[in-house]
Amino acid sequence: MGIKTDLYIAFKCDECDRVQLYEISMFNFFKGDFEVRCNCNESGLSVRNINKEKIRIAIYCPKCDLVHLFLLSRKDLIKRNVIVLYCPKNGVELCIIGNSRDKVEEEIDFIETRIENLVDEKLNTKSVFVNTKVTYESIDKINDIKKKGMLTCWCGNDDIAVYILKDKLVLRCKNCMTRKDIKTVSNKDLSELKKKEEIVLN
């Protein structure tokens, strides 16, 4: 079996509004400093090698109008299928990096679907939730579990992001990207959730 020698990096250009996905040789990624530019050449990100163990990624955040810096270990980049870099202030996804093209593309689809739902909500183009009552009560229950420190991931992390979609809540571990879906369609879904006092993503 061959050894994977490529990494994939994706980001959404704040100028042309397109998601850019690039395939970069792992050797080039760790060899020196470089930039990744959008095809429109109006935005991008920079990668800098700090030492043998760490690299630094700098990417512009349109929400904050600032450049955010992220320090990543080479070990994580090699081993983890996907890493998402979030704005530290508002949680917006800025960049996706991974050693699996399929996983990176899956994450892009997930983010774009969530953005479309938010746009629909603002424009009132269609019903926001399949079951509004169940959705709101499910959010309250998840928040109660989280406040008690009982919302965690198998990897030991308790920094769990909660995304609200039309028919479910998506719980995502910000460390290992493990995902768990909580359906919010029926009263039965809500009843099952209310029985839980602890949720572990696995």
The ranges assigned to domains in the chain are 6-102, 132-201
Q: pTM of the prediction? A: 0.59
What's the pLDDT at 157? 93
Measured in degrees and rounded to the nearest 5, phi and psi for residue 111 equal -65, -45
What's the pLDDT at 180? 93
Q: Kindly tell me if the per-residue pLDDT of 108 is higher than 70.
A: yes
Residues 10-20 have pLDDT tens digits of 888 777 777 77
What's the pLDDT at 112? 66
Query: 176 vs 125, which has greater pLDDT?
Result: 176
Mean pLDDT for the stretch of residues 74-92: 84
- What letter represents residue 90's amino acid? N
When pLDDT is cut at 50, 70 and 90, the band that residue 1 belongs to is: very low
What's the pLDDT at 19? 78
Long-range contacts at 51-60 (CB < 8 A, ≥ 24 apart): 55/29, 55/30, 57/85, 57/95, 57/97, 59/11, 59/85, 59/94, 59/95, 60/14
Of 77-86, 148-157, 178-187, the range with the highest mean pLDDT is 148-157
Mean pLDDT for the stretch of residues 58-81: 86
What's the pLDDT at 154? 94
Length of the chain: 202
List, in sequence order, every beta strand (DSSP E) within 107-153. 151-153
When pLDDT is cut at 50, 70 and 90, the band that residue 115 belongs to is: low
Residue 8: in which H helix or E strand, if any?
strand 6-12
